[in-house]
Chain A
Amino acid sequence: MIAARDLTKVFRTEEVETTALDRIRLTVDDGEFVAVMGPSGCGKSTLLNILGLLDTPTGGEYMFHGDDVSSCPERKRSRLRRGSIGFVFQSFNLIDDLTVAENVELPLVYQRVTADERKRKVSELLEKFSLQPRRNHFPQQLSGGQQQRVAVARAVVTEPKLILADEPTGNLDSAHGEEVMKLLMDLNEAGTSIVMVTHSPACAAHAHRVVNLFDGRIVTEQRGRISHV
């Protein structure tokens, strides 16, 4: 699915140069669930942004579905993101001015899916995620767990092959956190690849493989799913 070779990201300001990622090699196969762990500032989120085509690497090669996308223009990256990648963020990142249903619908709008089709898909998904009664609520009116459920629903509405989750349970209490992990596991079982950044060993334990980052480098990789929820 994705293959990164010698992926490097350097942030430069006038006086300081910070290497966020240092020659990262990482592949994620179709249907694989990879957890990325490491202390704050080790480059986890930077890696996720590059994998998600939200940011470009300063060096190295990044193959997405067999295409080299390391330096492709924003227009192409946005086209690839659309439909291929779903995002789940720690802080949910729902749009405050849109209702639950509209937030879930948004990726379909950018994919130019017809209104009827959008309506059908959104309803289906809200039903599945038990959000139907909340469909006309605004994000501020929901609990953290509910907000993240909406975010996950939005990430999967286009049926992407890859979901990138940046500490999806970081802002949730344990019960809600587990609820969200269960959703991700189900999606993975249905064939969606997942790359998840997390601080929580409990969450990481659900992954097929755990990659440990330190100072921008991969220091260890553990294989094998450790436990099931």
Chain B
Amino acid sequence: MFRAHLKIALRCMQRRKIVSVINIVGLSIGIASCVLMLLWIRFETGYDKFHEKLENIYLIGTHHQYGTTGTWSDQSPPALGPAMVREYPEVVDFTRITNYGSRIIKYGEAEFAERLFCADPGFFRIFSFRFVEGDPGTALTDRYSIVMTESMARKYFGDEPALGKTVRVNYEWDLTVSGVVADIPANSTLRFQLLLPFDLVGSLPGWENYLLTWYNCSFNTYVQLREDADIEALGQEIAGRIERSDPETNLRPFLFPFADLNLHSVSGEGGFITVLIMFAIIALVILAIACINFMNLATARSGERAREVGIRKALGASRRELIAQFYFESLLQAFLALMVAFVLVEQFLPRFEELLPWIDVGLDFSDPVLIVGALLVTLVAGIAAGSYPALLLSSFRPGVVLKGMTATGGRGAVFRRALVVLQFGATVVLLICASIVYKQFEFMETKPVGYDRENLAYMPMDDELKAGFDAFKQALLRSPDIIAVAKGSRSLAGIYTNGHNWDWQGRDPNVNPLVSYLGVGIDYQDVMRLEVVEGRFFSKRDAGGDGSDVVVNETFARLIGGGSVLGKTIHHDDHDDPDVTDYTIVGVVKDFHYKPLHAPIGPLLIEFDNERSNNFVFIRFADGARGRAVAHVEKIYREFRPDRLFELTWVADEYENLYRFVEIRGDVLQYYAIIAICLSCLGLYGLASYMTEQRSKEIGIRKVLGASVVSVVSLLTRDFVRWVVVANAIAWPVAYSLIRGYLEGFSYRADPGIIPYVLVSLLSILLATLAVSVQAVRAALSDPAQTIRYE
């Protein structure tokens, strides 16, 4: 029976090539979408699985309460981790981790800027990174040691063993390689290339006291707990512990399972899993669209196969045997589609990895989960696509169909229309969402942010450059291509230094805002092109002052309230400079975005020439002079720091990177939307071919009676287009509610208006009309004598 089914199924496909191609191509695209999704899900759910103690590792996060608002953070005070191991027996080990930023690593001639991380010695006891050289137990115990990955070791030392070799870090420390770990898998939350002992950074001036604080949340702290630890009780204990050390605290710590860190957000809301679920649903929608094509084509040409059903029944086939035969055919096509899908996936994988740059996936046929998953998807597709045709066709009564008494192709017409509506509805929703997500990306990319980010670059300053800054600045300004130069604490693409407990006259006791800090030098306003709305910005006359004059942004000024804030005093006890507690506002700048547009603009305090403002030097270039000007900057830099690496960061690039994820989401959505519309139109084309063929006699008669080509084409297309219009009507509100939810995640969002809806609808109707009318025009132009005679 199997061979007989296989034979007839293959011959059937061969004879109806267009339908078979539509079916197999459609299903393979649907299955390929699901397989890609499966690979992605497998990658994301496989995060951190290599850690042996995974289930017992927790991140200590904190909730910060500011007046009536609160924020969630994955960081906790530096003093908490050591105290927990000392005081609570269920805490086995701890490690703090911090990103130490980009520093220069030098070994012999090799010299590169690398990103450094610091961790406590517990790091390698808690996490299971595989050591290629060295001992995980002692790797970070020596203050002047460094651990690197295999590829880093190769970069600096070639094929020689790395252990025991000494590299120069930041031109000041000689660190000995104490361990080399195997390259870290792409799906690891903790990814480092170079890791320094926390102790080394902790010994820097100013850090020792900082590490004893119970309020500065700037490190990730991980703890390993005993198997029997009561997580909730421990959470309460450590909350009490923080309160005992800092009675004024606004922090509430919590223990978050490390295993959940990739997919869930520490706040418990949203997280990456929502994105993953969204794309999984979209992949299934694509598969469903392909299945609908299959069903529609099968039922539309059911008339053709009705006779076969009648004959088989007359010869003694039972309904069950016929159902089995039709399922066999749909499953066969689904499995052929799976083969094609694997080829498609293989071809598309490089582009997929380009779209989602953090992932590292491959078609591994020895992975049982992938194989079982792909087979399951195929089985579901085959059964879903084959069910309706199998049940419909096998129900035909032989006496009726053998006489050709009913136009059996007309059966299921209502169901088919409903499926077309569903298919186009889903497609239109996808298209609208994709275009609006893209619009949001474009909005964020082009939105004026309140400063001029074009032709603006910066570089870090070391102590020597800080000391010789004025000369360096003058040297840079000798080039006509350089317009302005200033010191500053951070790039405006993201300021995350902040604090609360600010006070001023008339403050509502419930208002305790988180104020962001920006430190600047002379000419900063010219470099950034900030707009001052009231008072003044800093200038030469502020040099040598006590630092108590500050500029605030409009948001902060509004909070302080009561008309002009110039000359008003704001008070802060535990700000960095212990000598100054009262600050006088001398100017107000127009609000600008110093954080990604997901977040609203908060109060900002700009201070003049404090310790922080020496971090970086910002340079404003003349339009179109980029290449020449950079060469000039490098030349000057070499004069000042001949032995140092020159690296320049462009603010516009940095800004674009902020919205990478929005762009990625838009890109992936766009791909899916394009696939959906192509599949839907392909299905409609196939359906229209059959419907037109069925009505060929009617068309012939109409033409004999004088119908024009236009009227015949409109007769044939009208019905389909009507259903696509219905699909659009249903899709609009669905797309609207989905996209509204998405846009609510941004404090500053594009107003999509009605245009994307209208354009997508017009596009879908136009494409559907094209798909249908290709056949209709052919039928309308055919010779009526032919069709009438044939019938």
A residues whose Cβ falls under 8 Å from a Cβ of B: 45-46, 49-50, 52, 54-55, 74-75, 78-79, 81-83, 87, 89, 93-98, 102, 106-107, 109-111, 154, 158
Contacts and interface: CB of A to CB of B under 8 A. Distances in A.
Given A95-B308, A97-B11, A102-B4, A78 B317 contact: yes
B315 to A, nearest CB: 5
Contact of A78 (B12, B311, B316): B316
Nearest to A95: B308
A87 B315 contact: yes
Contact of A87 (B8, B308, B314): B314
Interface string B1-27: 100100110011001000000000000
Interface centre among B308, B310, B314 (most CB of A within 10 A): B314
B399 interface: yes
Contact of B311 (A50, A74, A79, A95): A95
B315 A55 contact: no
The secondary structure that dominates the B interface is helix
B547 interface: no
A167 B307 CA distance: 17
Interface string B303-332: 000011011111111110100000000000
B402 A110 contact: no
A111 B400 contact: no
B398 interface: yes
A98 B8 contact: yes
A109 B321 CA distance: 11
5 contacts: A45-B403, A81-B316, A97-B11, A98-B11, A106-B315
B314 A109 contact: no
A52 B314 contact: yes
Contact of B316 (A45, A89, A111): A111
B582 to A, nearest CB: 92
A46 B699 CA distance: 31
B568 interface: no
Contacts of A94: 311
A49 B310 CA distance: 11
Contacts of B447: none
B318 A55 contact: no
Interface of B: 1, 4, 7-8, 11-12, 15, 307-308, 310-319, 321, 397-400, 402-403
B307 A54 contact: no
B12 A109 contact: no
Contacts of A81: 313-316
A111 B1 CA distance: 11
Contacts of A46: 399
A110 B319 contact: no
B398 A54 contact: yes
B397 A93 contact: no
Contacts of B4: 102, 109
Contacts of B1: 109
A75 B402 contact: no
Contacts of B319: 74-75, 78
B480 to A, nearest CB: 82
A54 B314 contact: yes
B35 to A, nearest CB: 31
Given A93-B307, A97-B12, A110-B321, A154 B315 contact: yes
B317 A93 contact: no
A97 B15 contact: yes
Most buried by A among B313, B398, B400: B398
Nearest to A80: B316
A217 B451 CA distance: 97
Contacts of B312: 95, 106, 110
